[in-house]
A and B are shown apart, each in its own frame.
Chain A
């Protein structure tokens, strides 16, 4: 055996470990890939929140490309993305359906929407995480892109920023509309 090879071994070992960490340490451990991508949206039927007479169910997601947005009055990051959602509603960009998640008081959601504006086409009230668990939600806000057949095509965890909208969601929605 060529003994010079032995001197290179530690270097090779280091390179392997370093490249492993270089990839591993730059990934966000809390960002989980959703297993629901490209599967039909789950069966669910939620009651309306106070002040609305229609809730949100599986059937409402068929027929048109739409966004499903998990929000709650207790969720600060939801307030951060709220102006963008209002802007999208104003532009008539895409129907946004809301899942009002885990309100402690049933008045909290409607009050929050009255204060900051209501960008949602339909809203379902989800006080005990029925739909949230069915959608595999881990935190709020989360936003799903659902195609016209009711199939989940994308999930964005966290705030939908202008950049996320322009670079990911809008192009995807346009593509799904063409299909």
Chain B
């Protein structure tokens, strides 16, 4: 039973380890959990599509250590992230913030999608209207048309 529990614990540990080295891990599990959460949102500047939590790059390691040191010294999660952003810019955040320079990024897809839906609705409305128009009674004849029709009918009856 003990062995089974150990194996289970080890396998779980393996899943959540990322690139964090044993010597970096904090003794306080709460702080360590916060550090992991922060690290997952920070971009590794060397291998740009990995978080520093995933990356084996030296700079990512130093950033992980820095995040932990700041947490230990009493920084809030926001303060730690703000410090790294103040050095590297918003680019370091894997999830871009919602602000004036990123409105196009966040709202663009919804806007373009919305325009597409509007265009589609307009298109189908017009098509159904056109189809309904065929079946509905044609507009009454004008005086001119009536006279022409009478002439034609007269010609034939003769």
Contacts and interface: CB of A to CB of B under 8 A. Distances in A.
Interface of A: 29-30, 32-36, 42, 102, 128-129, 132-139
Contacts of A36: 87
A32 B62 contact: no
Nearest to B89: A35
Nearest to A139: B46
Interface of B: 45-46, 48, 58-59, 62-63, 65-66, 84, 86-89, 91
B46 A138 contact: yes
Given A30-B48, A128-B62, A133 B91 contact: no
A133 B89 contact: no
A135 B88 CA distance: 8
A62 B45 CA distance: 29
Contact of A129 (B62, B84, B88): B62
A41 to B, nearest CB: 12
A71 to B, nearest CB: 15
Nearest to A34: B89
A138 B45 contact: yes
A32 B90 CA distance: 11
Nearest to A136: B87
Nearest to A39: B86
Contacts of B88: 32, 35, 136, 138
Contacts of A34: 89
A139 B60 CA distance: 11
Given A32-B45, A135-B87, A139-B45, 8 more contacts: A32-B88, A34-B89, A35-B87, A36-B87, A128-B62, A129-B59, A132-B59, A134-B87
Contact of B91 (A32, A129, A132): A32
16 contacts: A32-B88, A32-B91, A34-B89, A35-B89, A36-B87, A102-B62, A129-B58, A129-B59, A129-B66, A132-B59, A133-B62, A133-B66, A135-B87, A136-B87, A138-B88, A139-B46
